[in-house]
Structure 1
């Protein structure tokens, strides 16, 4: 389920079946010109990836709005903010919380997060519409879907 009016209406009626939240962690920055294109590309890839995960696991997961943060910010402060989000999320009957990102700097703070961090090695560039990219994304979706299901 996505974070939209129609899906949330369905969620309220079937919340006992939707036990998993996926929270995308999306970095943002404008200060490093050399990194802008790569960062935007990774955001697009992650968005496609999350859409496919949501479709693959429909009925069990809720995809939250993106958690946006400045790439240069202190992660300790961000951990506190993310954990506040997670505290709000757990007011509903969600048993499993997954945070997903291409940003490897989160790995250093993984133990402080009140959820399971899924770090995906970042794709630097490519053609989002190519067959190779779709094959790669589909392969990643299958692996992450299996990982999430292993927690059920």
Structure 2
């Protein structure tokens, strides 16, 4: 079943050892908390994690068939202020989205992955599931680079 395949790869990107290097959790766990809110350029690690969490919540809503959740690019919803949140809180929020993503995928059939929701969107639920993994990978790379620059 394709939904199981997607869930397996979502777990690999998040908590395992993907072929390209460190997964999300391995990368984040290596970074000391004092680096999470240090700015280099215009972003912090906590900013990037807040952004990842926001888009994971968007993906969960859309995969679940909900339209009550949207994100406008370059807004507070897209880049929430995480300056007051600890590493532990952000990691817990990220873990919560992982559980919700996997539970949502478990409820879907392979046929559901071919549907576009809402119908006017140019991508399917399957595209969205792959896209959120790609988004995680992209920002994990940024986080690893930022952590290196802060060291």
TM-score normalised to structure 2 length: 0.29
More strand per residue: 1
TM-score normalised to structure 1 length: 0.29
Greater relative contact order: 1 or 2 (C-alpha under 8 angstroms, separation 6 or more)? 2
More helix per residue: 2
